[in-house]
Structure 1
Amino acid sequence: MSQTDRPAGGGLRADCSRCFGLCCVAPAFAASADFAVDKPAGQPCRHLRTDFACGIHTELRERGYPGCTVFDCFGAGQRVAQITFGGRDWRSTPRTARQMFDVFAVMRPLHELLWYLTEALALRPPAGLREQLSAALAETDRLAAGDPQALLTLDVDAYRGRVNPLLSRTAELAGGGAGADHRGAALVGRDLRRTELRGANLRGALLVGADLRGVDLARADLTGADLRAADVRGADLSAALFLHQSQVEAARGDRQTRLPARIVRPTHWSDLPVARRGPRHR
Structure 2
Amino acid sequence: MKELLLASTVLSGAFIFSSAANAAPCVANVNGTIDARNIGNAANRPGCTISTLPPVIGNTSIWNLGIVVDQYGVAAGGNRTLTVDNDLTTILKGSAGIAVGDGSAAAQAIFDARGKTINLTIENLDANAPKPIGDNIAKSGVGVSDGGLLMIGTLNLTMQNLPNGADGSRFGVGQFFEHYGVVAGSSVNAAEDATFNGKRSSAIFDNLSIKMQSTANLGGYPLLNGIRVIQGAYQQSGNGSAGYVEVKGDLAIDIDAASNDAIGIYV
The structure where helix makes up a greater share of residues is 1
Does TM, normalized by the shorter one, top 0.5?
Answer: no
Normalising TM by the smaller chain, what interval? under 0.3
**Larger RCO (CA under 8 A, 6+ residues apart):** 2
Say which one has the larger Rg. Answer: 1
